[in-house]
A and B are shown apart, each in its own frame.
Chain A
Amino acid sequence: MLTPRNMYIYLVSAISLQAFTWAIISLLRNLLIPNVFSDTTATAFQTAIILISLPVYLVHWLWAQRLANRDIEERNAVLRVSYLFGMQAGFLAPFIASAFGLINSLLFKITGHTPKGCYFGLNSSDAIIFYLIPTLILILMWYYHLRILEQDAKVEPVQGTSSTIRRLYVYGFCSIGLAMTTMAVINLLRWFMAQIGGDNLVGVISSTGITSEIARLIVGLPLWVVFWQWAQRLFIEGNEEERESGLRKFYLYAIVFIAALTAVTSATFILEGIFRRVLDIPTLGVSEGDIRIPISIIFTMAIVWAYHFQVIKSDIKLAGEAQIQAGLRRLYIYLIAAIGLSAFLVGISGILSVLIRSIDQTTFGTGLQQQLAWFTAVTIAGLPVWYLPWRQAQKTAANTGSEGTSESRSMIRKIYLYFFLFVATMTVLSSVVYITFRLINMLLGEDPPTLSDLGQPIAYSMIAAGVWYYHWSVLRTDRQRIVLEQVEKLEDYSIVLVDVGDKYFSQKVMEGLKRENLGVSLISIDFGIEGEKTRISEEQKEIIDQLNQADLIISPWEIVKAGGTSSEISNEITRAVVNSSAIKLLLPTRSERWEWVGVEKWDSEYFVRHTINAVKQFLKGEDVKLIKPLGAGAILVIIIGIILLLNLLAIPATYLFGF
């Protein structure tokens, strides 16, 4: 439980245990490596910390344990779980660093190399002891907390917010392990290639550096494997909560995004090197024209990409509902397409800019050739990465039937399309502002702008205008497709709106639904008006027929309460509603001596708004869900997000036009 008392207990426990652990480590280092650490003051200080922090920790931790034993729910409390996973992370992170240092020192000892830049200039034997002490102590501390967590989980399984904390811990260390492994593999591959093709490779690691990469791999790989297997176990054996975890999706898609982007960038460097040779310009790029560096990155990142793509595919299969599966598949496709299109646009705009600036014959230098080589490389690297997934998405959207409509309607597709519309609009805006500024400047007596000045903004605005038109036409086609499909589907669709009140609700809902132009047949029946009672009773047979034939009946819940306060509703009408095969959309209206649980206070306007939303969701084939207005926190986050986005956009604009 999140009480001030519990916060106090866990905070003191955390601080005192960390102080105790690090004091023990420092003291042991002082005692076991005396020729380097022989400071009496430090020894006295560390002893003091141990003597004071240990009882403080024990008192508070035993208090925490007593509380957990007394109340079973405490074992799954957010604060306790945060403390335990936080402490585990606090011990595991320095353990990784120490284990890396230890293995590195052992490898130095085996190979006979002298470690450079080692802590306090230790020799390899002292370095082994230096790193061995924290490695042993930290792993013990980590294991103790692991055991506590396992004991707690036996009594009260981790769930809710606590399972989110666990996922953060698991995927956090998965990321660290994967990053270490990837980095080590890239550097080792680079080293191997340097051995094969001559070691004149720029930035290649030295023979002493190679031991660090081996150590990184020895630590990183098991770390990743252990935590990734844990993550997989949680996902496969876990409950629905684990399956629907947003963090796992974020982790997988972030890795795919980074791997794809890195692979595309490295491919660009290789292609750039080729084009530089075609254009006969000296190589000055990052790889100095040597393709071994980007090849080692591409190879590693392609494996990371392929593996995580397979994981995403199997996750999609396990996702259950077809709608969720399609959503996840779409997320992957549009993510890759967005990377590819962004690169393609950067490349093609650059090529056009070079073309425009080449017309100006008074310029000279290798700049134009260099840019042409670079932008052609970017275009070629980006084009297939965009074209293939985007074509697949377009094909799916063009399909007749629900698959196509669902693609056209999907939120991810809309975000993708509107994102590029936004980028295109902003690019046109900033480019045209710059061109106009230069022209006004010229009218005011300054030098006229040259093609070299205006080449880039002209090229960018032309490409951006094309991007805008293309994405806008895709959106327009999507909309037409949705409407066409809706008209075909809803041609014979009938919605019956029943009102037992003062007719206000039925009138407003009818107006709202007509405005939405849904293409359905709408029938409104008002039972609450005195003057209509006789007519309703005369036309009862016809009303019952309409209710029987309806596809959707919208009504206050009282319609199914025959003989209740709304005595104007006959038993026959109630039976017709109940027996109708139509879907019934019931409103939780207030009725004397009847109350609702879990429903907020409402008024007629609220009902009207939510009924229209519910009908729209229903007609789209979606689940009827409550659409809540944005809270103050969400609005604040959106405002901060917009400010950050504008700042981000200002950076390229400043670079581009030197504002």
Chain B
Amino acid sequence: MQNNYNGDVEINSKNDEANLKYKDKFLSVIVVGAVLLTVIAFAVVLLRPKPEYQSENTPAGIAHNYLLALEKRNYERAYKYLAPSLQGRPDSVDEFYENIENNSRSFRLDSDVTVQVESEKIFKPSAVVIIRETRFDVGGIFDSNQTTDTFRMGLRLDDNEEWRVIDSDYYFASCWQRITGCR
């Protein structure tokens, strides 16, 4: 007994040829797209408006200004936002700067960070501001990693009814809360 079968494979050769040509274009599009994306990213980052100091009426504004002053290395202004009631408050801007240098890890002097004031909770005369911090640690190509954390900054109204920093998980020297200060 004989059984004959002629195979039939569905294929559209015109489509296939078109696809092959398209593939090269696709690859070129990827490369051009990557270049364009890089140029756009550079343009956006470079043309980004410079961060500005905010109104000092709210705890969030003070926290923002304190962090921005530190970022701009305007230590005189940052020093101004430290609560006078802090037991170990540095006596001068120079001492404040020295304390920052000695607490480089807490003040992120050795890394690039992005910060953003997220929210505030006011319990007069105290307030807590939540700050989001994004850090990027460069290792190798495949072991660099970005970490995003939130931390709290405590503020209190001083005698002049102005919000001042009394505590913070970062960007703050814990010795400022001690009677002996950082000496």
Q: Mark A522-544, 1 if CB is under 8 A from B, else 0.
A: 11111001001001100100010
> Please, what's the 1-or-0 string for B30-57, where 1 marks a CB less than 8 Å from any CB in chain A?
1100100110111011101101000000
- Whether A333 is near chain B, meaning CB under 8 Å from some CB there, is no
State the CA gap A546–B4 with chains docked (Å).
Answer: 11
Q: CB of A594 within 8 A of chain B?
A: no
**CB of A17 within 8 Å of the partner chain:** no
A372 touches B9 (CB 8 A): no
Q: Does A264 contact B (CB under 8 A)?
A: yes
CB-CB nearest in chain A for B71: A365
**Are A483 and B9 closer than 8 Å at their CB atoms?**
yes
Docked pose: A265 CA to B143 CA in angstroms: 11
A323 adjacent to chain B (CB < 8 Å): no
The answer to whether B116 touches A363, judged by C-beta atoms less than 8 angstroms apart, is yes
**B114: interface (CB < 8 Å):** yes
Binding stretch for chain B, among A106-114, A338-346, A595-603:
A338-346
Give CA–CA (A366, B48) in the complex, Å. Answer: 12
Q: B85-93, B134-142, B161-169: which lies at the A interface? A: B134-142
Is B116 touching A483 in the complex (CB atoms < 8 A)? Answer: no
> Known: A365-B113, A367-B113. Is A358-B31 also a contact (CB below 8 A)?
no
**A452 x B112 contact (CB < 8 A):** no
Interchain nearest-CB distance for A91 vs B (Å): 36
Which segment of B20-28, B76-84, B95-103 sits at the interface?
B20-28
Please tell me if B74 contacts chain A, counting CB pairs below 8 Å.
Answer: no
| Interface range for A | 35 or more
Q: Are A394 and B141 closer than 8 Å at their CB atoms? A: no
Name the one of A344, A519, A652 contacting B8, with C-beta atoms under 8 angstroms: A519
B44 contact set on A, CB distance < 8 A = 355, 358-359
- Which chain A residue lies CB-closest to B17? A484
Q: A364-B71, A367-B135, A371-B136 are in contact. Are A474 and B31 (CB under 8 A)?
A: no
Q: Mark A633-659, 1 if CB is under 8 A from B, else 0.
A: 000000000000000000010011010
Q: Mark A450-472, 1 if CB is under 8 A from B, else 0.
A: 10110010000000001000100
Closest residue to A360 on the B side, CB-wise? Answer: B116
A20 to B165 alpha-carbon distance, docked (Å): 71
The answer to whether A321 has its CB under 8 Å from any CB of chain B is no
CB-CB under 8 A from B23, the residues of chain A are 394, 398, 473-474, 477
Does A354 lie at the interface of the complex (its beta carbon under 8 Å from any beta carbon of B)?
yes
Q: How far is the CA of A387 from the CA of B31 in the complex (A)?
A: 8
Whether A286 is near chain B, meaning CB under 8 Å from some CB there, is yes
Question: Known contacts being A265-B141, A470-B26, is A529 close to B3, with CB within 8 Å?
Answer: no
CB–CB B34/A521 < 8 A: no
CB–CB A371/B146 < 8 A: yes
CB distance from A370 to the nearest CB of B (A): 3
| Residues on B with beta carbons closer than 8 Å to the beta carbon of A174 | none
CB proximity of A345 to chain B, nearest CB, Å: 10
The reply on B157 being an interface residue by CB < 8 A is no
Given the complex, which residues of B lie within 8 Å of A286, measured CB to CB?
A: 138
Which residues from chain A contact B160 at a C-beta distance below 8 Å?
none
Q: Tell whether B152 is near chain A: CB-to-CB under 8 Å.
A: no
Q: Is B123 an interface residue (CB 8 A)?
A: no
Do A456 and B146 form a contact, CB below 8 Å, given A343-B141, A447-B118, A522-B5? Answer: yes
Cβ of B142 and Cβ of A510 under 8 Å apart?
no
* Whole-angstrom CA separation of A648 from B172 in the bound complex: 36
Q: Which of B49-67 contact A (CB under 8 A)?
A: 49, 51, 67
Q: Determine which of A358, A519, A521, A652 lies in contact with B41 in the assembled complex, contact meaning CB atoms within 8 Å.
A: A358
> How far is it, in angstroms, between the C-alpha of A525 and the C-alpha of B67 when the chains are bound?
88
Interface residues of A in 341-390 (CB under 8 A from B): 342-344, 346, 348, 351-352, 354-355, 357-372, 374, 376, 378-379, 381-383, 387, 390
Contact A484 B37 (CB under 8 A): no
0/1 per residue, B143-183, Cβ < 8 Å to A? 01111110000000000000000000000000000000000
Q: How far is the CB of B21 from chain A (nearest CB, A)?
A: 9
If A279-B46, A286-B138, A383-B31 touch, whether A351 touches B7 (CB-CB below 8 Å) is no
- In the complex with contacts A364-B68, A367-B112, A376-B38, A354-B3 CB distance below 8 A: no
Instruction: Determine the chain A residues whose CB is within 8 A of the CB of B20 once the complex forms.
Output: 398, 477, 481
| Cβ B19 vs Cβ A379 within 8 A | no
**A residues less than 8 Å from B7 (CB atoms):** 490, 514, 517-522
Known: A391-B27, A394-B23, A519-B9. Is A365-B114 also a contact (CB below 8 A)? Answer: yes
| Chain A nearest CB, measured from B87 CB (Å) | 30
User: Is A281 interfacial (CB-CB < 8 Å)?
Assistant: yes
Given contacts A346-B141, A355-B37, A452-B132, contact A365 B115 (CB under 8 A): yes
* Complex alpha-carbon distance, A264 and B147, angstroms: 24
The answer to whether the Cβ of A480 comes within 8 Å of any Cβ in the partner chain is yes
Residue contact A361 to B16, C-beta cutoff 8 Å: no
A427 within 8 A of B: no
CA distance A447 to B23 in the complex (A): 44
CA distance A126 to B19 in the complex (A): 75
Q: Which of A360, A361, A372 contacts B49 (CB 8 A)?
A: A361
- CB under 8 Å from chain B, chain A span 408-465: 447, 450, 452-453, 456
Minimum Cβ distance to chain B for residue A281 (Å): 7
Nearest Cβ on chain A to B158's Cβ, whole angstroms: 25
* B138 adjacent to A655 (CB under 8 Å): no
Q: With a 10 A CB-CB cut-off, give which of B68, B141, B145 has the most chain A CB atoms.
A: B141
Contact in complex: A525, B41 (CB < 8 Å): no
Residue of A nearest to B112 (CB): A370
How many Å lie between the Cα of A261 and that of B4 in the bound state? 56
Checking B110, B112, B146 against A369 with a beta-carbon cut-off of 8 angstroms, the contacting residue is: B112
B13 touches A484 (CB 8 A): yes
Whether A268 is near chain B, meaning CB under 8 Å from some CB there, is: yes
Residues of B close to A391: CB separation below 8 A: 27
> Bound state CA distance, A397 and B135, in angstroms?
43
| Distance to closest chain B CB from A378 (angstroms) | 6
26 of the cross-chain contacts (CB-CB < 8 Å) are: A261-B141, A279-B46, A284-B110, A348-B34, A355-B44, A358-B45, A361-B48, A364-B115, A365-B113, A367-B112, A367-B114, A376-B38, A398-B23, A453-B132, A470-B30, A477-B20, A483-B11, A490-B7, A510-B5, A514-B5, A514-B7, A517-B8, A517-B9, A523-B2, A523-B4, A655-B146
Taking A361-B49, A372-B45 as known contacts, 13 extra A-B pairs with beta carbons closer than 8 A to each other, sorted by chain A number, are: A261-B141, A342-B142, A364-B68, A367-B113, A374-B136, A379-B34, A383-B34, A387-B31, A394-B24, A452-B134, A456-B146, A506-B3, A519-B9
By Cβ-Cβ distance, the 6 closest A-B pairs, closest first, are A367-B114, A370-B112, A364-B51, A519-B7, A655-B145, A524-B3
